[in-house]
Structure 1
Amino acid sequence: MDLSIAAILGLDGVTSGAIYALVAIALVLVFAVTRIIFVPQGEFVAYGALTLALLQMGAVPGTVWLVLLMCAAVALLDAVQAVRERWPLARWARHAASTLAAPLAAALITLALARTKPNMLVQVLLTLAVVTTMGPLVYRLAYRSLADASVLVLLIVSVGVHFALSGLGLLFFGAEGFRNPSFWDARFSLGPLTLSGQTVIIFAAAAALIAALALFFERTLTGKALRATSVNRIGARLMGIATDKAGSQSFTMAAFIGALSGLLIGPSTTVYYDTGFLIGLKGFIAAVFAGLTSFPLALVGAIGVGLIESFGSFWASAFKEAIVFTSILPVLLWRSLVDPHHEEH
């Protein structure tokens, strides 16, 4: 291997690492706020890429029907709760509107525009809208009633949600894979390296999102409320912060990050209904490196995972996945030494 090959592999690794960084940041965000190890994060990535692919074909994406189905299930749960707790009709109507207005609007607008094949920008916005609104619906259906359960129970539920979303992905999208067109076909030469326009977009989008998250948590009231919930859930509740709302907001942000990651990775690889699982696992390795608490360390870990995958594919392409997943073992050993576990009571 000479320096030019190493530079090319390094660029590929950093590019992949930027995607894994977004997934890792979403995992850290959800865990910090809700204590949920969100195994299905990768499904949002796959849904984002597949939704855009079907919009490109002028077809109604399966995520539209999935959102409508989830809205019906949430409406039924809320109606049962309203009857059980004897809510006034006005309160139930306000609650239903606040919970279901956004996902219903996103699904119905996409349903109306999908067959007209709108331009790329509209397709991207529709994809982000549909997949993002799935986040709070998943939280309401699977997690809200278990918000105070142990981490182990929440992990088991996450595994179940992963299998459910993966199966629904097969139902709504089929087993066929899709590859999206590049957002920018430009080429830039930098010594031995050639940067594609899509690579530049990946770097720019990842950097912009990380900067936006930093400003969100430092400068906004909602961001500070999420930080308070992540530090001490009970204390935040005593200070008047609605922890259920914080959980729903964290899932909304995670779904948006997942959808954006799917849009970015779609032109680089063929995406299937279950592709998100491997991407989510690699993001999870980076999140574990960060102890599921630190966004900067998650970024560093994700770049490391991308580089390991890139160089591993060069030296032993048949075992690149095994090399990547084996790298979690020294990370777990290091974490067990620097951050001893205390049994949860």
Structure 2
Amino acid sequence: MNFQIATLLGQDGLTNGAIYALLALSILLVFTVTRILLIPLGEFVTFGALTMAAMQMGKAPKLEWLLLGLVLIDCALDLYQQIKHHIDRNKMKKIALKLGYAFVMIGLLNNLSLAEIPMACQVLLTLCLIVPLGPIMYRLFFQPLADAPALVLLIVSIALHVAMVGVGLLLFGPEGARTQPFSDTGFRLGTVMLKSQTLWVILVSIFLIVTLFIAFERTLYGKALRATAVNRMGARLQGISPVFAGKATFALAAFIGSASGILIAPITTLYYDSGFIISLKGFVGAIIGGLVSYPIAAIGAVAVGMIEAFSMFWASNYKEIIVFTLIIPFLIWRSMNSHHVEDDE
């Protein structure tokens, strides 16, 4: 291996690691606030990439009908609650706004020349279509079970992942897709040409990570989410809604997942079921952070990306095994240093 090959592998590893770091932070965020391991996070990645690809081919993405269906179910449940208890005008306005948003999205996607609009508008439409799926899914599948044991939440998360994979096959088909790169320019570093899309991935990932850090350390809503993560009952007594916290974290996870899919779609071909492996590698980074530490999880995710890239050179047939084997020593170390209830008693 010479310097040029090492630089190319390092470029690929850093690109993949940046995406894994975003997904690891999303997994940590959702888990610490809601105690839910968000297994379907990878589906947001593939939905974002395939929706963007459909727009660039001039097709209205069929995901709009999934959004409409979930919104109708959500509004029907809210309306039932209003009729059963007491009709609140503000909540009725929210129901009307949800329905209006879904129909506006369908109208835009079916009347615009999607292949001809600027790429920034395509990205915005993709995010506007996918991000609302996060809080709606929390409302429908997890909010009624918010106080259930963690094992029950994990089972529901796995079931939702399986369902979303099937929905992805139904909506997008078995064919893979790529999108156009944000920029075709390159930058030369010595004898190595750096891809502009790689720089986009790294810069946007750093921006999102720093923004999340500032949001959770400096803003009122971020502190409210952290309070919910520390003590749900205490946060509720202080007027912080765990329901709001759950929906907000799922919205952030959907945003980060779909944005990650948009970023990597020009680099690699994604299929309807590609998201699980991608999110699983982010999960390895989250485990390295102990599902607690954001900085360690981000560093671990970048390390996963680098090890994966160099494994493709030395042992390409075993790269997945090498990556997922990384989790074993950290689990053993965590297990040896944890205090069990029996020991405390």
What TM-score results when the alignment is normalised by the length of structure 1? Answer: 0.94
Q: Residues 36 and 18 of structure 1: is their aligned pair in 2 closer, same or farther, counting only changes over 3 Å? A: same
Deviation at 1:83, TM superposition (A): 2.9
RMSD: 1.8
CA distance in structure 2 between the partners assigned to 1:269 and 1:6 by the alignment: 20
CA distance in structure 1 between the partners assigned to 2:325 and 2:62 by the alignment: 35
Residue 64 of structure 2 is matched in structure 1 by 64
CA distance in structure 1 between the partners assigned to 2:216 and 2:96 by the alignment: 27
CA distance in structure 2 between the partners assigned to 1:318 and 1:341 by the alignment: 39
SS in 2 for 1:194: strand
Deviation at 1:104, TM superposition (A): 4.8
Q: Residues 224 and 101 of structure 1: is their aligned pair in 2 closer, same or farther, counting only changes over 3 Å? A: farther
SS in 1 for 2:117: coil
Q: Is the 8 A contact 1:13 1:308 kept in 2?
A: yes
Q: Residues 199 and 249 of structure 1: is their aligned pair in 2 closer, same or farther, counting only changes over 3 Å? A: same
Residue 49 of structure 2 is matched in structure 1 by 49
CA distance in structure 1 between the partners assigned to 2:340 and 2:255 by the alignment: 31
Q: Residues 98 and 291 of structure 1: is their aligned pair in 2 closer, same or farther, counting only changes over 3 Å? A: farther
Q: Is the 8 A contact 2:114 2:122 kept in 1?
A: no
SS in 2 for 1:259: helix
SS in 2 for 1:188: strand
Does 2:14 correspond to 1:14?
yes
Deviation at 1:142, TM superposition (A): 0.7
Deviation at 1:169, TM superposition (A): 0.5
Q: Which amino acid is the alignment partner of residue 252 of structure 1?
A: A
CA distance in structure 2 between the partners assigned to 1:341 and 1:134 by the alignment: 38
Between stretches 222-231 and 1-10, larger displacement belongs to 1-10
Q: Which amino acid is the alignment partner of residue 15 of structure 1?
A: T
Q: How many residues align?
A: 342
Q: Which amino acid is the alignment partner of residue 129 of structure 2?
A: V
CA offsets 1:122-148 (integer angstroms, 9 cap, x no match)? 101101111111111111111010111
SS in 1 for 2:193: strand
Q: Which amino acid is the alignment partner of residue 65 of structure 2?
A: W
CA distance in structure 2 between the partners assigned to 1:230 and 1:111 by the alignment: 41
Residue 30 of structure 1 is matched in structure 2 by 30
Q: Is the 8 A contact 2:31 2:37 kept in 1?
A: yes
Deviation at 1:309, TM superposition (A): 0.8
5+ long unaligned stretches in structure 1: none
Between stretches 111-120 and 202-211, larger displacement belongs to 111-120
Residue 266 of structure 2 is matched in structure 1 by 267
SS in 2 for 1:229: helix
Residue 281 of structure 2 is matched in structure 1 by 282
Q: Residues 203 and 81 of structure 1: is their aligned pair in 2 closer, same or farther, counting only changes over 3 Å? A: same
Q: Which amino acid is the alignment partner of residue 130 of structure 1?
A: L
Q: Is the 8 A contact 1:33 1:246 kept in 2?
A: yes
Deviation at 1:154, TM superposition (A): 0.5
5+ long unaligned stretches in structure 2: none
